[in-house]
Amino acid sequence: MKSRLVASVVFGVLALPVLAAVWGVCWFVTQDGAAHLYNSHIWGELLKGNPAVVGHYALRPYLVPNMAGQLMLAGLLSFLTPRAADRLMMTATFVGFAGSLVWLRWKVCGREGMRWAVPLAAVVSLSWLWLLGFYNFLLGACLFPVTLGLWWGWRERLSAWRVLCIAALLVVCYFSHLVAAGLTAGGLLVLALATVEAGRLRRVVATGASLLPLGALGLAYRGVMQGTGVPIRPHWQGLADPWSPREWLVRLLQEDDVLQLHHRGYFPFVAEPSAIFSYLRPSSFVVTGLALLLAATLYAYKRERSGGTNSRRAWGVLALVFCAAGLFGPDHFGVAHGLGLRERFMLLGLACFVPFLRFESSSLAARVGVLTLFAASLLQAASVWDYALASDREVGNFMRAEAHVGRGRRVATVMALRPSRFRVVPLYNLDTLLGVGTGNVIWNNYQAGSYLFPVTYRADEEARLGERVAATNRLNLATSPEDFGAQLDGWAQVLARYEREMDVLIVWGRAEQLDEINRKWFGPDPAFEDGDVRVFMHR
């Protein structure tokens, strides 16, 4: 009881600052949060038969994996404001993932070290994927520890009923996110093979049986993926020669990691980058802490050689397998099929260290390792607050345009963006928030143009318009004149073909060449102007 109380106190100390940012900072938003809200709203309105929505959108004729999060949001929107619903999802995907990892530690190890596992669970839960607003994947990630933890408790007595329960959890995970379900299934197989206890063959067969419904769903969905016309093959970004050790070394040293919220070289609340900050980031503390704890753990396991601790080594194998895939695996299997595959492997690989490590070892290495993980979680919370305050300034400025956009309008947005200290840009999909509850159609709706999500455009021409706006409306002011000119040409082509489908144009940022392009159809004088945001009505 005392151990659980201390673990709860530690969890509260580390979680409360983040929750204070989520609920206390007015416009703290994730990058994809607004897009999820908009498409969840559309889903609900389609079910109601709202003619303002039915005329432009429809539901796909097949069940897609990325639907659990949007179904939850659609339900929340029926009785909550959009901001409250989004904050609940941010809270659920943070607290839910961290809490499920602490529960997994208790399920595997009992009370041993549970309180000191909390810092690792907290810092892993505040990942780049969380700040991106990948709600569907993170809901599946919450089911990852639950499914593996139940399997672990049942591994010696996998009855038919328990196999069905595992299968049902995998199906629910599938409808959260395909990759999360695949990694959960892979985790079960690795554990079944790596666990050294007697009855391995029976355990592997029973575990394989639990994967059959997921396998059937995956095979059916593979046909949908192939129907997109985009080849399904692995891609390694920035790696011209996969057989070059030098290129691999550069890739491993320079690539951003899943825990990194700032761009490399930046530090919370410091405006200018510095080389030293490249080493003072949460992942550096996490790697150091894990290395110390791993050394203490392996030494303790070697001394004890007991069956209970030996069986836990399977979790170490799983952690290393997933982390290796995160370091050396492909970035994606085609952009149209989703990004961030390596980061997802790495996130769940780090999560698997939670039930494996010996946090309460008496060695100095273990104690320093725990303190290092505490430092990492506090630094990550500071990074979250830094982003929250920056988001509040930019998003608050943008949302002042809401009252001037109107209702029942067709809205396009173009943004001239400057470099940011953060890897996440809250403005990317923010305009979709202007379509929730207003009857507005927001053309920058990348989800409706992707087969990965349940909502789609009704007409092919609208799909092309939405896809092209989403692909060309973000202009990089820091790029070369040639690249910026190419971006402007892309936007000019969209306006030349589709300007009649746009009632309102929202412009963020300023560039004279961009204003010249927009002026032809939307005039020189904005209907609203405040700082970096301007609203133009079609002539």
State yes or no: pLDDT of 64 exceeds 90: no
Helices (H) and strands (E) in the chain, counts: 22, 8
Of 78-92, 249-263, 302-316, the one with minimum mean pLDDT is 302-316
Provide the H-helix boundaries in 305-406. 307-311, 313-328, 341-351, 364-399, 402-405
Q: What is the pLDDT of residue 16?
A: 96
Pairing outcome for strands 410-417 and 504-508:
parallel
Secondary structure (DSSP) of 126-156: S-HHHHHT-HHHHHHHHHHHHHHHHHHHHTT
Rg (CA), the chain: 24
Of 357-361, 441-445, 493-497, the one with minimum mean pLDDT is 357-361
Provide the H-helix boundaries in 29-134. 33-48, 51-54, 68-77, 82-109, 114-125, 128-132
Q: Which of 421, 462, 422, 425 is nearest to 445 (CA)?
A: 462
Q: Are 311 and 198 spatial neighbours (Cβ–Cβ below 8 Å)?
A: no
Q: Which tokens belong to 501?
A: 């489908």
User: Mean of the pLDDT values across residues 505-526?
Assistant: 93
- CB neighbour class for 12 (10 Å; exposed up to 12, middle 13-18, buried from 19): exposed
Rounded (5°) CA angle 94-99-105: 135
Q: Are 163 and 209 spatial neighbours (Cβ–Cβ below 8 Å)?
A: yes
Q: Are 10 and 379 spatial neighbours (Cβ–Cβ below 8 Å)?
A: no
Tell which wins on pLDDT, 239 or 164.
164
Q: Which tokens belong to 104?
A: 């997994």
State yes or no: pLDDT of 488 exceeds 60: yes
User: Mean of the pLDDT values across residues 60-76?
Assistant: 90
CA distance 492 to 522: 13
pLDDT band at 242 (very low <50, low <70, confident <90, very high): confident
State yes or no: pLDDT of 307 exceeds 50: no
Residue 31: count of CB within 10 angstroms of its CB: 21
- Burial of 143-173, coded b for 16+ CB within 10 Å and e otherwise, reads bbbbbbbbbbebbeebeeebbebbbebbebb
Q: Which helix (H) or strand (E) holds 415?
A: strand 410-417
Q: Which tokens belong to 136?
A: 């569907």
pLDDT band at 2 (very low <50, low <70, confident <90, very high): low
State yes or no: pLDDT of 298 exceeds 90: no
Q: pLDDT digits over 352-406, tens only? A: 999 999 887 778 888 999 999 999 999 999 999 999 999 999 999 999 999 999 9
User: Mean of the pLDDT values across residues 487-493?
Assistant: 95
Q: Which of 509, 508, 513 is nearest to 490 (CA)?
A: 513
CA distance 188 to 191: 5
Q: pLDDT digits over 393-409, tens only? A: 999 999 999 999 999 99
User: Mean of the pLDDT values across residues 470-483?
Assistant: 91
Q: Which of 513, 524, 521 is nearest to 481 (CA)?
A: 513
Q: What does the DSSP 8-state code read for residue 332?
A: B
> Looking at the chain, how many residues does it have?
539
Three-state SS at 407: coil
Q: pLDDT digits over 121-166, tens only? A: 999 999 999 999 999 999 999 999 999 999 999 998 999 999 999 9
State yes or no: pLDDT of 301 exceeds 80: no
Residue 27 to residues 23, 31, 34, 54, 390, Cα–Cα distance (Å):
9, 12, 11, 30, 9
Q: What is the pLDDT of residue 1?
A: 57
The residue whose two tokens read 């889903």 is 43
Q: Over the chain, what is the mean pLDDT?
A: 91
pLDDT band at 42 (very low <50, low <70, confident <90, very high): very high
Pairing outcome for strands 455-457 and 504-508:
unpaired
Q: Which tokens belong to 529?
A: 């102007």
Q: What is the pLDDT of residue 306?
A: 52
Q: Are 253 and 367 spatial neighbours (Cβ–Cβ below 8 Å)?
A: no
The residue whose two tokens read 């929250």 is 388
The residue whose two tokens read 């503390």 is 285
User: Mean of the pLDDT values across residues 306-319?
Assistant: 77
